[in-house]
Amino acid sequence: MHNFMRIKLLLNIAPLIWMALPSQAQKAQEGDAIFKELCVGCHGNDGRAETEMGKKVKAADLTSPEVQQQSDAELAKVVMAGQKKMPAFGDKLGYDEIKGVIAYIRQLGKHQ
């Protein structure tokens, strides 16, 4: 009976926990503002890196299959530590902000 009560409790609170988690769309919306502040200069509004600076530094096209196929952990590592000429943002952005930027990058990939 004790296990039954645990399962019943879990079934009752699971939907509440699920509802409290931000949706992917909410994360992407939060990441949009950060992207526009820190990333758009090189990657452009659409993420394709067709800006003057993006071409100059050979910034990644964030809508490309090469980027979109990377795991969230791989993308987070790039955002945190930087890559090639891209600066590191690990000291400027918190974990939730980085998750938001990644969610936004995923949205860019859907709009190609």
Average pLDDT estimate for 63-90: 94
Instruction: Output the domain CATH number for residue 75.
Output: 1.10.760.10
In b/e form, how buried is each residue of 70-83, taking b as 16+ CB within 10 angstroms?
beeeebbebbeeee
pLDDT of residue 19: 46
Q: Is 15 helix (H, G, I), strand (E, B) or coil?
A: helix
Does residue 1 fall inside a structural domain?
no
Does residue 80 fall inside a structural domain?
yes
pLDDT of residue 109: 86
Does residue 40 fall inside a structural domain?
yes
Of 23-27, 72-76, 85-89, minimum mean pLDDT range: 23-27
Look at the chain and report how many structural domains it folds into.
1
Contact 41, 53 (CB under 8 A): yes
89: domain range? 24-110
Average pLDDT estimate for 83-110: 92
Does residue 5 fall inside a structural domain?
no
pLDDT in tens, 1-58: 456 566 665 556 555 454 455 666 677 778 899 999 999 999 999 999 999 999 999 9
